[in-house]
Amino acid sequence: MARAKDQFRNLSGSDKAAIFMLSLEQEYSAKLFEMMDDEEIKELSITMANLGTIDSEIVERLFVEFA
């Protein structure tokens, strides 16, 4: 638990956005991508590709933060 807490604290804003987008259903993430310009999509896509495995506790913490 402490490990996930430390990992969460070390996430950048881009990391959090990428995890959030990957956690959404496709129809919702598609709507958000439609609002982004090409550079934002490129940056977010690179971050998404480099994330690796994300612990479910991190995803939960992220959703609580965004709520």
26 has pLDDT over 70: yes
Mean pLDDT of 16-23: 96
* Residue 3 burial class via C-beta count within 10 angstroms: exposed 0-12, middle 13-18, buried 19 and up: exposed
46 in helix, strand or coil?
A: helix
- pTM listed for this prediction: 0.87
Mean pLDDT of 2-7: 83
When pLDDT is cut at 50, 70 and 90, the band that residue 4 belongs to is confident
1 has pLDDT over 70: no
Tell me how far apart the alpha carbons of residues 57 and 8 are, in angstroms, rounded to a whole number. 9
What are the tokens at 20?
A: 């959030």
Query: Which tens digit of pLDDT belongs to each residue from 39-58?
Result: 999 999 999 999 999 999 99
Q: Closest Cα to residue 47, out of 7, 20, 8, 67?
A: 20
